[in-house]
Amino acid sequence: MTGKVCIVTGGNTGIGKACAFAFAKKNAHVIIASRTPSKALAVVEEIKNETKNELVEFIQLDLLSLASVTKFASEFKAKKLPLHVLLNNAGVMACPFALSEDGYESQFATNHLAHFHLTMQLLPVLEESQPSRVVNVSSWGHNTIYFHGLDLETMNDESKYSAFVSYGRSKAANILFTRELSQRLEQKGVKVRLA
């Protein structure tokens, strides 16, 4: 992946960290997007030391704030880099009820809205860099007992909150967004693949 640029949200832990390592081992330029600088910078150094790839860096991103998402996108664009892989990985599951900085239920805000906003902010760069790819990490939570419809009207109502239903809603939104954007880009003839 020499010459390829990859953004990994939540790249400082779990699946995101494993993917950031894998990209770096393949010699990609990796940008770890996460909330806590101290944790992310430690992982940046760990990846650099293990892979001997110096093209690993951190840009702060708080998915509970759409302003932070916009700031992240602006900082990335200011680097004048292409973008070949956007891995929307970061997420939360079955949290106690809370609202984001913008007033949205926290799981929906983190797992879906922020990644939707990030993807749309970076889509022009992805299109310019084609062929490129957007990977939206979802889960089986969109299915079976967890998902009872999107019901966006009551999403922010604490009295109707269910941690697992809200998680399922956010994961269903990931899948619907991925499918819709994929169809729209295909119709335009753009080689940005979604998964």
Please give the positions annotated as active site. Answer: 161
Q: Give the 3-state DSSP-derived string for the chain, with helices as H, strands as E and coil as C.
A: CCCCEEEEECCCCHHHHHHHHHHHHCCCEEEEEECCHHHHHHHHHHHHHHHCCCCEEEEECCCCCHHHHHHHHHHHHHCCCCCCEEEECCCCCCCCCCECCCCCEHHHHHHHHHHHHHHHHHHHHHHHCCCEEEEECCCHHHCHHHCCCCCHHHCCCHHHCCHHHHHHHHHHHHHHHHHHHHHHHHHHCCCEEEC
If one counts every other C-beta atom within 10 angstroms of the C-beta of residue 94, the result is 14
